[in-house]
């Protein structure tokens, strides 16, 4: 009998370091617009921000930093 904990078959793990908990994306070319309101005393407070990504977005392992491009489509499908 070898029934251990149930595992989710499609859990993503880094093939380089086997970490499966932290990942990050880098947008290579993005247009970031930040809107400010000027206060009475002349200072500014950011009120809104919009980001338009123009280039590629790449996925990386948050532990070892290796690029995980081949897993990116799967990654995007699993963001909730």
String of contacts with Zn ion for each residue 10-49, x by CB under 5 A: ----x-xx-x------------------------------
Span interacting with Zn ion, options 5-13, 20-28, 46-54, 57-65, rule CB under 5 A: 57-65
Candidates 17, 47, 50; CA nearest to 33 is 50
67 makes contact with Zn ion (CB under 5 A): no
Query: Which of residues 27, 63, 71, 72 is near Zn ion by CB under 5 A?
Result: 63
- For residue 40, CA distances in Å to 9, 34, 45 come to 57, 19, 11
């Amino acid at each position: 009998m070898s029934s251990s904990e149930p595992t989710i078959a499609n859990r993503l793990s880094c093939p380089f370091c086997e970490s499966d908990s932290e990942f990050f994306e880098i947008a290579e070319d993005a247009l970031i617009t930040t809107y400010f309101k000027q206060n009475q005393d002349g200072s500014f407070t950011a009120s809104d921000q919009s980001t338009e990504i123009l280039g590629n977005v790449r996925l990386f392992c948050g532990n070892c930093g290796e690029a995980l491009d081949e897993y990116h489509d799967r990654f995007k499908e699993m963001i909730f």
